[in-house]
Structure 1
Amino acid sequence: MKQQKPLLWSNLFRIRRETLKYRLSILVLTFLVWGGMMWGLRLRGKQRTAFLEAFDGQFVDMFMRLRNHYQGKAFIDKRITLIGIDDFTNEHLAPYGRGPWISRSPFIDLVHYLGQFYKPQSVSFDIVFENRLLEEIGDDPTTYFQAKIFRQMSETIRQVGESRIELESQRASFAAMAQLITWLGESAFGETLGELREAGVLPILAFFFPDDPRARARLWPIEAILGDDPDDLSEENGLLIPDLKASSIPSHLIEQVPGDFPYRDYPPRVPTGNYLEYSSLGSINIPRDRDGVVRAYPLIIGMEYHYQHPKTGKRIRRRLFIPTLAFLTFLHHMGLAPEQLHEGGEKRLRIIMGKAVEIYDSQGNLQYSLPIDAYGRIYLNYHGKISDYQGISFASCLGNYLPLKPYLHNKMVFVGVTATGSVDTGPTPVNRLSPLVLVHMTALNDMLKKTVLRIMNNRQRLLLCVILLILGIPLFFLPLRYSILLSMLYASVYVGSSYYCVHRHWFVMPVIAPTGFLASLSVFTLLIYYLTEQKERRRIRTMFQTMVSGDVLRYMEQNPESFSLAGENRHATIFFSDVAGFTTISETLAPEKLVLLLNKYLTPMTDIILKWYGFIDKYEGDAIMAEWGVPFPLDTHAVNACYAALEQQRQLEILRPQLLQEFGCEIHVRMGINSGVVSAGNMGSEKRFSYTVMGDAVNRAARLEPANKDYGTAIALGENTAELVRDTFFLRMLDRIQVKGKTVPVAIFELIGLPDEVAPATKELTTCYEDALRFHWERRFEEALSSLDRALAAVPGDKASLMLKARIEGYLE
């Protein structure tokens, strides 16, 4: 035994080294997949990939729709009202863009009613009031519409009233008349906006930077920056820059602007006329994700212009930050309109890119915090469709004002086009095609309700990756079915957590990269399992195909985790058998005859052992060593071993006459069976080894087999085995014997058979013999001899009874 110990430890070391190598290779694959996930989570700004942007966005869209289904309109702010130019308005006034809309007449009436009766907080127009005809007219129509044209227009009107005239010759007059009407409408609208501002209502007009290549290629006209007076060129006199500066947020209030922040270096499309004297400007540039859906909303738009100073010749570059329509509306609601920021209210506002917009009260205490990303954007949290917001038809506002006052008074009003067929539409998370005024309303609603969804920063993403890595590593070391189930559980919990974060208005968790990481781990696990399983199956089949039955071998191949080759302690039953008098038989037979005899004996014995799920450990000449309970677990290992032993003895009764006739020798086999804890595993050298068992239970089984010779029995059982099979088989206690290395005698038993198959005489023999054995231990020798006489009368010649009788008679002498 001591000589085998170094081999055992060497073998275990080899297995552990192979396992370590295997696990390290898995960890390398895990880190590679993890690195791919890290790359996939580069969601910051322009690094965000189109694939992840599209699919992650669609998951969040689905979460929003599901949440809105259960929450309804609970998070839609009633302080927001939409005045929509809808289908009803087009039917009762005129299709938008035609008829009275050209002269701004409906807008003039609306603004008049809002200022005189409804008194909202602000009116934000998601409409760009631009008319290029006015650029030609300028501020003085008298110069443009010269006296001759006015006289011609007057004459044309008179002729139309008197009779039919030839209209072809009056085209110039009609064009001038249209321009005059437009100019008058624009002027009246501007004055109405001034009245609205005097009434305490802030008009916010939309402007935008076109995204087409031609617009991007335009240069800033020098008059837009420095004015058109060659004697007084300065930025204060510019035709456009002063108005943009007045609506901008001072640049010193904006911190940590990234180096790749997008600045637009071409002129925007702004309202014309005298509107800008009474209104603030808000950008309506809305970026879309790669799939066209609007999910992010910028709070500020960066613009850049440069020129050469007319006096010094120095090249000057300026940058401005203009608030978007919804953000400007929100700032005004918080008492921080741009003019107030320029007039000393800057201490109340801080915009920290990548962190938050912070608004302070007059005492310097933080009043409000709005999370933004590195480019000043918020992730829109859509709480409903445009029909879920408080809305009024444009046409309904022109007339009876009293019923509408609760919907407009002190509200933040948006005016936008919502009619069917409008070009100002686009896909949103809640609808395939929505009027884009919904985007501005959603952004303002999120700011008012503080439901802006946060986007995970780099530190949070790194923490998420580390957590997923830690959770993913165990997947490689679990059985395949548990690994797949656990990965599915991980993915389900992660997706559920992502939804819960949206449901609670917390933040947006990336979905595709983490779930893809978990799915990749499952695929790797499946692939590695398949490759290693095939290798392990070949190894198991090579090692055990001649030692176990086909059913057991298939079980071991399909469940390699059910046993260990590295060495373990297991409860098992050990079987030894040996042919009685085999030395004499081997001396009388020629070698070829001896081999043939052994094969004819060992083949059916082996088949019976395999039939009862036994494991053939080894053959030693005529001896067989087998185990039950290793290498695979078997709860009935002792019972199966006894069944196999009894069937072998019955098979020998059939085989014995055949062997006697063919080889001239009679075969009798003694068997020893014992149960207990054994050490099982691959044992041997580094290059040559075999699966076997060792331990005290093995040694005792080996000593039980020759004990049959003394008692004249065929199958001897150890005490542990007898306890396990006592309820199944009929046993006879033979004796207590002293085992080498043990100080306490151990009991041995004879396995006779199944209770209903045992003859009455054998049962009588067993009862009398066990009584005699008990009397013998109690030194009641006369009673013991009497019991033995009855036993021998039942079965004459019983060797165990004769041996015990001789022992007692020796004591009496």
Structure 2
Amino acid sequence: MAAFKLSGLTGKLHKNLKLLLSGAVITLLIATVQIFQPLLLELFNGKIYDVTLNAVHSPQTTGVPIVIDVDEKSLEELGQWPWPRYRVAVLLEKLKALGVASVGIDFLFSEADRSSPRAVQSDLKSDFGADVTWTGVPEDLQDYDYILGETLKRGPFVLGYKFFDGTPAKSEDCILHPVNLAWLDSSGAQQNADFPESSTVLCNHRELAGSALFAGFFNATPDRDGVYRKVPLIVKYDGGYHASLSLAAFLMSRDTNQVVAVRDAQGLVAIRAGGVTIPIDNFGNMLIHYRGEAKTFQTISAASVYYDRVPAQELSGKVAFLGTSSAGLMDIRTTPLDPIFPGVEVHANAVDNMIAGDFYKRPYWMPGAELLVLLAVALGTILCLVYARTFYGLILVTLEMVLLVIAAGYILQIYGLFFSPLMPLIACVTIFSTLTLLKFRMAEVDKDFLHNAFSKFVSGEVVEELVKSPEQLKLSGEAKQLTVLFLDIRGFTGISEKLTPQEVGELLNDFFTPMTAVIKQHGGTLDKYIGDSIMAFWNAPLAIRNHPTKAVRACLGMISGLVHLKQQFLETYGVTMRVGIGLHSGEAMVGNMGSSDLFNYTALGDTVNLASRVEGLTKRYGVPLLVTESVVAGCNDESIVFWEIDRVLVVGKQEPEKIFYALDKTDHSALEQEIAGYAAAYHLYLARDFATADKHFTALAEHSPFPRLHKQLADRCKRFTATPPPADWAGVHRLGSN
């Protein structure tokens, strides 16, 4: 009894150590992802920010930023866009008369107004040789750009322009009105940290730009998923620093042109402008605290302003942005709160943040804080699952997940800090799922009948050989050319979870019996049952002519037999049985690999290992059977068709292997077009025409019984299209990559 208790205690300690080690490995892997912050994590964190912002945002604004909308009504009353510049001037004068603090113009006037009388006069002269004079039109009304320029001189108007990368423009062609920027560095600051620099600008007509008091760029770069979460505030160009349209409009409303950029040891931290400290990232971007969907800000039709339909005091002190919501003119952006969002309202949101001071930010130290939370959550989950019942672990994990989500929303809403709970949540779910499955697996292994039922199978041929000459098999073995088979039941863990241990044993008996019969029928030797797998080989202990052919025939027979047995398994056990079979021919050591008192007639060597690897590939490629080139070469049955699938290099091997799907010629007609289409696509793939091959594989996947096969190659083509393989690439896929 004492010995039994000691044995049980040791087993429990061993299991706990295994669970602790497994949890530690999972935690290390997830923590590594958190530390290195890959692009995919950045994309998912963006989505988490969107969800969190949707949950906590308030549509309440300061009421200061407004939108003057060149809407459909305005176009109907004032004519199609672009309007004559004098009409824009009249609109701006009306806004100034209504007392706006500043007007950001979200339009670009890059060329002269061709509708001006003077321009029309010049065009008629140039095109038709006609001398036209205007009667009753004063000289100063014949140039609409001059009229608008005179209005811009009197302010408070901010022209918009656009930076982009391309052929550098001549700096003298553009007048951009840079801000007066000073640097404020803390101790140990990165003094080489600077705002991003642009090489090219699309600016306003020189006459207008020279008349304006201020200007700002209206660029905004979306994140990689196309969502506009940030806006750049400062861009460096031609030695000067230039404000965004939103920042310029804010500065104009505060009657200042002074900006102070703050740096610390991490780089850019904030800018101070107009009495406000605005947090920025290391690229000069401000994270926008969006107030809501489109039309959250007060929006007034430009026609209403133009025709004096706006009350005198309604716009006093407002920061107005002149833009458009008209179809065909609107600059549409996707934001966290609205997939169809007018670009002009992005500026309004940014200015509202500056006025309210309720900025959102993600400091450089936040990923480190998330890592600490991840480690704490992982430790709690591991300890609970190791030393408590799974039920209590489920309660803890659920509580952790709820608290993480609530904490993320609370921190963003109260402190304006974006904390992403993504990786701690992944740690919770992954550790709980893995350790729970591991505990279940350990419990299953403890059931003796499963071990006894599947560890002592030997074929009749082996028993017969041992009876005839057991002395030859005790310690000796011989190298022979074998064809080795591995068969595995797909999704067996999920199947076993649905059944009682007794039902699992009965199911395996019902499955292994007909499969083993097919193997023996075609001259194969059953090596062993490995859990839910079968290992068998041909050409030992008895020599068999054409053993690759017999092995392939056995595989096709098992697949065909399983088709007929599927209904039986479904009715009896409520499960669908699927298999993966791998087949390889080559030299292996075969004989008794046991001890002097226990015979274990088996095969060992690289051939066996490769057959096992090939079986594992059937799941990746989504086909029930894969054979190697050596099997194809040794098969002399013309009624068997081989479909080349891929060229792979397994771990530890120097030479690549071609892998094939084998099928009977009677089944070939149903797949003939698909096989031909795959061959054509694979030829394009080998020829490095990955984009075209991707299209072919994707099209094949839509109607194929093996969609995963085509998607596997299509995904690979997509990666190679983005990042081509090296020049010496020969179409070989290294196992371990996707």
Percent of residue pairs bearing the same amino acid type: 19
Q: Kindly provide the CA deviation profile for residues 30-59 of structure 1, in whole angstroms up to 9, marking residues without a partner as x.
A: 33333244146x2xxxxx61x334443333
Query: Which of 34, 39, 44 is matched with 1:38 structurally?
Result: 34
Using the alignment, how far apart are the partners of 1:540 and 1:127 within structure 2?
76
Tell me the distance in 2 between the aligned counterparts of 1:497 and 1:183: 63
Q: 1:359 to 1:288 in 2, by over 3 A?
A: closer
| Structure-2 change in CA distance of 1:471 and 1:22 (3 Å) | same
Question: What amino acid is the match of 1:521?
Answer: I
- Which of residues 337, 359, 369 is equivalent to 1:452? 359
Shift of residue 28, structure 1, vs aligned partner? 3.2
- Distance in 1 between residues matched to 2:340 and 2:124, nearest whole Å: 51
Check whether the contact 1:258–1:374 (CA below 8 A) recurs between aligned residues.
Answer: no
2:94 is the alignment partner of 1:94: no
Instruction: State whether structure 2 residue 432 is matched by structure 1 residue 510.
Output: no
Partner of 1:154: 131
Q: In 1, Cα distance between the equivalents of 2:140 and 2:373? A: 63
Separation in structure 1 between the aligned mates of residue 343 and residue 306 of structure 2, nearest angstrom: 24
The structure showing larger relative contact order (alpha-carbon pairs under 8 Å, at least 6 residues apart) is 1
Deviations 1:221-263 (A, max 9, x none): 3xx3xxxxxxxxxxxxx343xx33x423436458747769642
What is the rounded CA distance, in whole Å, between the counterparts of 2:248 and 2:133 in structure 1? 48
Q: Is structure 2 residue 89 aligned with structure 1 residue 108?
A: yes
Q: Distance in 1 between matches of 2:142 and 2:384?
A: 74
1: CA distance between counterparts of 2:399 and 2:69? Answer: 47
1:85 aligns with 2:70: yes
Q: Which residue number in structure 1 is paired with residue 200 of structure 2? A: 266
Partner of 2:179 in structure 1? 248
Cα separation, partners in 2 of 1:324 and 1:261, compared to 1, 3 Å: closer
Partner of 1:63 in structure 2? 52
- Could you say which residue in structure 2 is the equivalent of 1:220? 169
- Map 1:196-215; keep pairs closer than 5 Å: 197=155, 202-210=156-164
The answer to whether the 8 A contact 1:359-1:368 is kept is yes
Cross-structure match for 1:397:
305
- 1:440 is displaced (CA, Å) by 0.8
Contact 1:84–1:394 (CA under 8 A) maintained in structure 2: yes
Matches within 5 A, 1:274-289: 274-289=208-223
CA contact (8 A) 1:54 1:290 kept: yes
Report the Cα offset of residue 149 of structure 1. Answer: 5.8
- 8 Å CA contact 1:207–1:271 kept in 2: the answer is no
Structure-to-structure mapping, 1:553-632, within 5 angstroms? none
> Structure 1 pair 536/481, CA: closer, same or farther in 2 (3 Å)?
farther
Q: How far apart are residue 509 of structure 1 and its match?
A: 1.9
Displacement of 1:396 in angstroms is 0.5
Kindly state the Cα deviation for residue 371 of structure 1 after the two structures are TM-superposed.
2.2
Residues 1:148 and 1:380: Cα distance change in structure 2 (over 3 Å): closer
- The residue that corresponds to 2:521 in the other structure is none
3-state SS of the aligned residue for 2:420?
coil
Shift of 1:475: 4.4
5+ unaligned residues in a row in structure 2: which ranges? 453-499, 502-738
Aligned twin of 1:433: 340
CA distance in structure 1 between the aligned counterparts of 2:74 and 2:399, rounded to whole angstroms: 53
Instruction: Pick closer, same or farther for the CA change 1:182–1:58 going to 2, 3 Å.
Output: farther
1:285 CA displacement: 0.8
Corresponding letter in the other structure for 1:376: G
**Which 5+ residue runs of structure 1 have no aligned equivalent?**
43-47, 159-176, 211-215, 225-237, 306-318, 362-366, 543-556, 559-813
CA distance in 2, matches of 1:360, 1:417: 28
Q: For residue 357 of structure 1, what is the aligned residue in structure 2?
A: 270
Change over 3 Å in CA distance of 1:529–1:62 after alignment to 2: same
| Contact 2:27 2:375 survives alignment (8 Å) | no
SS in 1 for 2:100: coil
Q: Which of residues 93, 98, 108 is equivalent to 1:128?
A: 108
- Counterpart of 2:248 (choices 328, 348, 354) is 328
Deviations 1:359-378 (A, max 9, x none): 499xxxxx643322222222
Distance 1:147 1:520 in 2: 75
Report the alpha carbon displacement of residue 109 of structure 1 after superposing the two structures with TM: 0.6
Q: How many residues align?
A: 443
Q: Do the aligned partners of 2:381 and 2:432 also contact (CA within 8 Å) in 1?
A: no
Once residues 127 and 28 of structure 2 are traced to their aligned partners in structure 1, the CA distance between those partners, rounded to angstroms, is: 80
Secondary structure at 1:321's aligned position in 2? strand
Residue of structure 1 in register with 2:234 after alignment: 300
Once the two structures are superposed, residues 737-772 of structure 1 have per-residue CA deviations (whole angstroms, 9 ceiling, x without a partner) of: xxxxxxxxxxxxxxxxxxxxxxxxxxxxxxxxxxxx
Question: Aligned equivalents of 2:94 and 2:273: distance in 1?
Answer: 34
For residues 265 and 257 of structure 1, do their structure 2 counterparts lie closer, same or farther at Cα, with a shift above 3 Å needed? Answer: farther
Q: Which amino acid is the alignment partner of residue 218 of structure 1?
A: T
1:107-132 Cα offsets, whole Å, 9 max, x none, are 111122223x2121111111112116
Change (3 A) 1:360 1:251: closer
SS of the residue aligned with 2:355? helix
Aligned to 2:596: none
SS of residue paired to 1:508: coil
Q: Distance in 2 between matches of 1:186 and 1:295?
A: 36
CA distance in 2, matches of 1:193, 1:499: 44
What residue identity is the alignment partner of 2:151?
T
Q: Aligned residue for 1:229?
A: none
Residues 368 and 529 (structure 1), Cα distance of their counterparts in 2 relative to 1, 3 Å cut: same
Aligned residue runs from structure 1 range 691-770, under 5 A = none
Distance 1:433 1:96 in 2: 22
Distance in structure 1 (CA, Å) of the matches to 2:109 and 2:123 = 26
Q: How big is the shift at 1:417?
A: 1.0
1:488 positional shift: 2.5
What residue in structure 1 maps to residue 372 of structure 2? 463
Using the TM superposition, give the Cα deviation of residue 17 of structure 1 relative to its aligned residue in structure 2, in angstroms: 5.2
Which residue matches 1:621?
none
Q: Secondary structure at the match of 1:392?
A: strand
Q: Is residue 145 of structure 2 the alignment partner of residue 186 of structure 1?
A: yes
TM-score scaled by length of structure 2: 0.53
Once the two structures are superposed, residues 383-430 of structure 1 have per-residue CA deviations (whole angstroms, 9 ceiling, x without a partner) of 1223221221100111326x4333211111111111233341122222
Instruction: Give the conservation status (yes or no) of the 8 Å contact 1:86–1:418.
Output: yes
Contact 1:385 / 1:438 at 8 angstroms: preserved in 2?
A: no
Amino acid at match of 2:63: K
Please give the alpha-carbon distance, in whole angstroms, between the structure 2 residues aligned to 1:377 and 1:480.
46
Contact residue 294 and residue 341 of structure 2 kept, 8 A: yes
Among 416, 440, 443, the alignment partner of 1:530 is 440
Distance 2:253 2:449 in 1: 76
Q: Which amino acid aligns with 2:131?
A: S
- Deviations 1:195-230 (CA, angstroms, capped at 9, x unpaired): 3x2xxxx311111124xxxxx331333xx3xxxxxx
| TM-score (normalised: structure 1) | 0.49
Provide the secondary structure at the position in 1 that maps to 2:224. Answer: coil
Q: 1:62 deviation in Å?
A: 3.2
Q: Residues 270-327 of structure 1: CA distance to partner in whole angstroms, max 9, x if unpaired?
A: 4432333332121111011222121111221233x5xxxxxxxxxxxxx433211112
* Structure 2 partner of 1:28: 24
Q: Which structure has greater helix proportion?
A: 1
Distance in 2, Cα, partners of 1:451 & 1:393: 29
